Amino acid sequence: MKRLYSILKYICIIALVISLISLLAVVAYVLINGVDKLSFDLLFGDYTDSPSIFPAFIGTLQLVGIASIIAVPIGIASAIFLVEYTGNKGRFVKIVQVATETLAGIPSIVYGLFGYLIFVVAFGWGYSILGGGITLAIMILPTIVRSTQESLLSVQNGLREGSYALGASKVRTIFKIVLPSCAGGIVTSIILAIGRVVSESAVLILTIGMVVNKVPESLMSPGASLALDIYYFASHGYPAEASATAVVLLVFVIFLNLLASFVGKMIKKSTYGDTK
């Protein structure tokens, strides 16, 4: 028995080492190949003689903007309806639950195909930042609904009762008591969802096209994102530029993750004080 345990322990340690090494290998590889290509031209150039990721950077910001403007309010409102108005039970909630779980698990390329058929083809928009942004919004919506639901459910019922017992209406209770009590969790999950938008590529190949050398003139123009730039550079003979872009993207995503936990903690601290 004892030997079995120690063997198990070593298997776990080896597994951990393998996963750490592969993670480090990816980061190291990207850094070694990419860092010395991180020139001013690549970062901020206008893409005349040498490649630049500036257009894609703008594209990424636009996509994040569109996706969050759409998905955040709709997602939070849906979750509020499910938790606060239906008590998070009943057939309807079950159906929505299964739907959001399934949608959250669908490969992103399927969302891409959907966006392509709707916005590019049916609406006749062609490739556009707007179509891509909306598709991304649809993609992150289930996650935002789910995590906001969790956050709302984590709020003690005693707080709601306390608010009602003081004569507050349902709306006031939701906006003044429930949402502020769980704002930390909600904001964290929104930032993480934005992280998914930033790193998404499959959806965008099919919806915004891959115009890497021009800042989109309007939201109806095609464009690129940082993640798409990596694909483009790598497949068009610029492996070093691809790595450099990957460095930028990595930094971006790490920053978002740190921001998520920092902002979440800050908000929790300001709502719950130092007690929790």
Partner 1 sequence: MNEFIGNMDIIAKNCNLFYGDFQALKNINIEIPEKQVTAFIGPSGCGKSTFLKIFNRMNDLVEGCRIEGDFRIGGVDIYDKETDVNLLRKNVGMVFQKPNPFPMSIYDNIAFAPRTFGITKKSELDEIVEQSLRRASIWDEVKDRLRKNALGMSGGQQQRLCIARSLAASPKVLLMDEPTSALDPISTGKIEELMEELKKDITIVIVTHNMQQATRIADKTAFFLLGELVEYGNTDDIFTSPRDERTERYITGRFG
Footprint of partner 1 (CB under 8 A)? 87, 156, 158-159, 161-169, 172, 176-177, 180-181, 271-276
Q: How far is the CB of 186 from partner 1 (least distance, A)?
A: 14
Q: How far is the CB of 166 from partner 1 (least distance, A)?
A: 4
Q: How far is the CB of 74 from partner 1 (least distance, A)?
A: 26
Q: Which is nearer to partner 1, 169 or 235 (CB)?
A: 169
Q: How far is it, in rounded angstroms, from Cα 249 to Cα 46?
A: 19
Torsion of the alpha carbons at 257, 204, 222 and 125, rounded to the nearest 10: -120
* Residue burial 6-27, b: 16+ Cβ < 10 Å; e: rest: eeeeeeeeeeeeeeeeeeeeee
Count CA atoms within 13 Å of residue 262 on its CB side.
Answer: 6
Q: How far is the CB of 79 from partner 1 (least distance, A)?
A: 19
Q: How far is the CB of 161 from partner 1 (least distance, A)?
A: 7
Q: How far is the CB of 183 from partner 1 (least distance, A)?
A: 10
Q: Count H helices, E strands: the chain?
A: 12, 0
Q: Which is nearer to partner 1, 9 or 176 (CB)?
A: 176
Contacts of 215 (CB under 8 A, 6+ apart): 54, 55, 58, 59, 223
Q: Which is nearer to partner 1, 124 or 273 (CB)?
A: 273
Q: Which is nearer to partner 1, 87 or 237 (CB)?
A: 87
Longest Cα–Cα distance of the chain, Å, equals: 69
Q: How far is it, in rounded angstroms, from Cα 142 to Cα 206?
A: 21
Q: What's the sign of the alpha-carbon dihedral 82, 83, 86, 90?
A: positive
Q: Which is nearer to partner 1, 178 or 205 (CB)?
A: 178
Q: How far is the CB of 77 from partner 1 (least distance, A)?
A: 22
Q: How far is it, in rounded angstroms, from Cα 55 to Cα 273?
A: 43
Q: Which is nearer to partner 1, 49 or 274 (CB)?
A: 274
- Which two tokens mark 117? 């058929």
Q: Which is nearer to partner 1, 37 or 268 (CB)?
A: 268
Q: How far is it, in rounded angstroms, from Cα 90 to Cα 77?
A: 18
Q: How far does Cα 269 stand from its chain's mean position?
A: 24
